[in-house]
Structure 1
Amino acid sequence: MLSLKLPQQLRIDQVPQVFHEQGILFGYRHPQSSATACVLSLFQMTNETLNIWTHLLPFWFFVWRFVTALCVTDIQNDSYSWPMLVYMGTSCVYPLVSSCAHTFSSMSRNARHICYFLDYGAVNLFSLGSAIAYSAYTFPDALVRTTFHDCYVALAALNTMVSTGLSCYSRFLEIQKPRLCKVLRVLAFAYPYAWDSLPIFYRLLLPPGESAQNEATPYHQKHVLLTLLASFLYSAHLPERLAPGRFDYIGHSHQLFHVCVILATHLQMEAILLDKTLRRGWLLASSRPPSLPQMAGALLLCAVFSLGNIGYFSAALYRVPDPEPHKKET
C-alpha cells in the first residue's frame, strides 16, 4: 500500500534566521524542502498551513465571482463594465500568488525571497485594479472629471511600480536592520492604499453628492475598518508576540491578517458592484470611465516594470553574500 511520509517539522533554533517569524517557535518546515514536500505540507499542520489555505480557498471564490460576471456581461459592447472585470481579475491574482508564495517559500533562502517578491508584485497589481474600479464607479460627485480624477489612475500606476521596488528592497534589510525593513514594507503598502482610498475617504467624511449617497457606503466603511485592522495585525505581530509558542499553528497575526484582507476584498467588491449598478445612469452622463487602452496600458506597464523589478532583485540575491554564513541550514 502506497504511503506518503509527511515532512519533518523543526523548531525556530533549527532554521536560519531569515526563516524566523516573531513569536513563532515551532512548526517550521525544512529550509531546503523539495517542491513535493512543500505541496505535502498543505495537508500537515505547520505554522504556514493556514496562511496558505486562507488565501487558496478565497481564490476559488473570487474566480467564481469573476466567471459569473463574465457570463452576464456583453464584453464586446458593454465598455462600462470593463473596469469592473479588470478589478475582479486582479482580485483573483493576489490570493493565488500569495498562497503559492507561502507554499514554496521553504525551498531555500533565495526561493523564500523570490516567492515574496512575486507576492508583493501581485498585491500591488491588485492595488492598481482597485484604483481603476474606484476611478470608474466610486468617485464622489464633486471629484468627477476634475484634474485629480484625470491623474488618479496614472499616479496609482506609478505608486504600484514604486511600491513593488520598495517592498522587494526591504527584504535585503531583514537580518541586519529588521525595524527599518518593517517600516519600509509597511510604508510600501500603506501609501498606495492611502492614494487609492482618497475618493472613499472623501465620501465617508464629506458630502459625497446625491449619486454617491447610496447603499454602498456601509460596505466602504467596513472595508476601510477591516483594512486598518489588517494593517495593525501585520505590523504589531499580535497575539503571538505576547505569548510566544502559543499561536504557532492557529491564531497568529499573519493568519488573522490574511482573513481580514480577504474579508476586506469581499466587502470592497460588494461596494464597487453596488456603486456600478446604482450610479450607472449618472456616471454614464457625467463621467469618463477609463478607456480600454488606458487600462491595458497601465496594467501592462506595471506588470512589465514589476517583473523587471522582481528579476533585478532576484538576481541581486545571488550577488549579495549570505548574512548568516556561520549558520548552516539543518
Structure 2
Amino acid sequence: MLHKGPRLLELAKTPSHLQFNKFVLTGYRPVSTAQECLRSLFYMHNELGNIYTHGIPFFLFLVLLPFSIPWMEVDSTWLCVAHYLACLSPTVGSVLYHVFMNHVGGEHVYDTLLSLDMFGVCLVNTLGALPIIHITLLCFPGLQRAALLVYVLLSSYGIYCATTARTNVLRLRAFVWQGLFRFSLFLFRVFGSGVGSPNSLRLFVIMDSLAVLGGVVNIVQIPERFSPGLFDNWGNSHQIMHIMVICSIIYLHWGTLEDLAWIKSYQCPTE
C-alpha cells in the first residue's frame, strides 16, 4: 500500500458497536478522524476489502453503464434514469459506511452510516424494479399504475424497516415483501398476460437469487465461522456478499437491457 497505517486492534479492543462479527479477530482500525478514515484507503486492514469490492464497481458503473443504456431509443427516459441510479445506489452508501465506520463520532455516526448503507440497498430494490413493473404490465395501464404505487409504498415500508433494524436477520427480512412482489410479476409473465423480453426473466431470477444468497452468507458468517482469524482481511462473508451484490446488479442490468431492447418493437394486442 502507499503508506504504513496505525497499529491495528484486536476485536476485544474495538468499540462495542464495531464488534458485529466475532469471527473476525484482528485488523481493526482505531477510532479515527474523517481524514484518518480516508487515509485508511491506502493501508491494509480488515475493512479494505469491503471498501474496494464496492468502490471499484461504483466507478466502473458510473462511467461505463451510460454507454450501454439506450437513452435515446426508449420513449420513457425515466426507465433508463431509474435503472442507472438503481445500479449505483448500493455501492455509494456501502463505501461511505465502510470507510467512515470507525469515525470518532462513535455509535451515532456509525448508525447514521449504516442507515445510509441500507438506504442504498433499498433503492436498488425499489428503482431497479420500476422498469420490470412498467414493462411486465405494459398492456394493462390501470394495473400498471396501481402496481407502481403499491410497490413504492412497500418500498417505503422496507426502507423504514431496513434503516431501523438492529440485526442482519431483520434487515434481510425488510426486503421480503419487495421480493415477493417481484416474484408475483415473474409469475404473471410466465402464467398470466404479463409481457417482456423472453430472455430477461431468467436474468432477473438469477439477480434475486444472488442477492438472497449473499444476504444469507452474510448472516451465517461463512467461511470465517469455521476458521476464526483466517479470513480477517480477505475472503470473509461480508466481502463475499459484496461480490454477490455486484453480480446481482450486473444481472439486473442485463435483464433490463433485454427488456428495453424488446419494448422498442412491441405493440400490445388490440381487442
Q: Is the 8 A contact 2:27 2:46 kept in 1?
A: yes
Q: Distance in 1 between the 2:156 and 2:44 partners?
A: 36
Is there any run of 5+ residues in structure 2 with no aligned partner, and where?
A: none
Q: 1:225 to 1:4 in 2, by over 3 A?
A: closer
Q: Which of structures 1 and 2 has the larger relative contact order (alpha carbons within 8 angstroms, sep 6+)?
A: 1
Equivalent in 185, 189, 203 of residue 171 of structure 2: 185
Q: Distance in 2 between the 1:201 and 1:130 partners?
A: 18
For each residue in 1:46-94, what CA deviation from the matched residue of structure 2 results, as whole angstroms up to 9, or x when unmatched? 1111111111111112112443257x5339xx53342122111232122
TM-score (norm 2): 0.87
Please give the secondary structure, in 2, of the residue aligned with 1:79: coil
Q: 1:13 to 1:109 in 2, by over 3 A?
A: same
Q: Is the 8 A contact 1:12 1:25 kept in 2?
A: yes
Deviation at 1:37, TM superposition (A): 1.7
Equivalent in 97, 115, 118 of residue 116 of structure 2: 118
Q: Is 1:239–2:223 an aligned residue pair?
A: yes
TM-score (norm 1): 0.72
| Aligned AA (1:27) | G
Q: Is the 8 A contact 2:92 2:120 kept in 1?
A: no
Q: Is 1:94–2:83 an aligned residue pair?
A: no
Deviation at 1:148, TM superposition (A): 5.0
Q: Is the 8 A contact 1:69 1:85 kept in 2?
A: no
Q: 1:239 to 1:201 in 2, by over 3 A?
A: farther
Aligned to 1:297: none
Q: 1:146 to 1:18 in 2, by over 3 A?
A: same
Please give the secondary structure, in 1, of the residue aligned with 2:55: helix
Please give the secondary structure, in 1, of the residue aligned with 2:150: helix
Q: Distance in 1 between the 2:43 and 2:149 partners?
A: 44
Aligned to 1:49: 48
Equivalent in 150, 157, 182 of residue 155 of structure 1: 150
Map 1:171-320 onto structure 2 (within 5 A): 171=166, 181-203=167-189, 206-207=190-191, 212=196, 214-282=198-266, 285=268
Aligned to 1:83: 79
Deviation at 1:243, TM superposition (A): 1.6
Aligned to 2:102: 106
Q: Is the 8 A contact 1:52 1:99 kept in 2?
A: yes
Q: Is the 8 A contact 1:66 1:88 kept in 2?
A: yes
Please give the secondary structure, in 1, of the residue aligned with 2:228: coil
Q: Is the 8 A contact 1:18 1:109 kept in 2?
A: yes
Q: Distance in 1 between the 2:178 and 2:194 partners?
A: 28
Q: Is the 8 A contact 2:27 2:45 kept in 1?
A: yes
Q: 1:227 to 1:94 in 2, by over 3 A?
A: closer
Percent of paired sites with the same residue? 22
Q: Is the 8 A contact 1:62 1:92 kept in 2?
A: yes
For each residue in 1:100-135, what CA deviation from the matched residue of structure 2 results, as whole angstroms up to 9, or x when unmatched? 111011102221111111111122122221121112
Q: Is 1:34–2:18 an aligned residue pair?
A: no
Q: Distance in 2 between the 1:123 and 1:246 partners?
A: 28
Q: 1:147 to 1:234 in 2, by over 3 A?
A: farther
| Aligned AA (2:235) | G
Deviation at 1:146, TM superposition (A): 7.1
Deviation at 1:240, TM superposition (A): 1.1
Q: Distance in 1 between the 2:100 and 2:197 partners?
A: 45
Q: Distance in 1 between the 2:6 and 2:147 partners?
A: 48
Q: 1:69 to 1:211 in 2, by over 3 A?
A: same
Q: 1:8 to 1:147 in 2, by over 3 A?
A: farther
For each residue in 1:195-217, what CA deviation from the matched residue of structure 2 results, as whole angstroms up to 9, or x when unmatched? 234313544xx346695462223
Q: 1:266 to 1:244 in 2, by over 3 A?
A: same
Alignment root-mean-square deviation, CA: 2.6
Q: 1:4 to 1:257 in 2, by over 3 A?
A: closer
| Aligned AA (2:115) | F
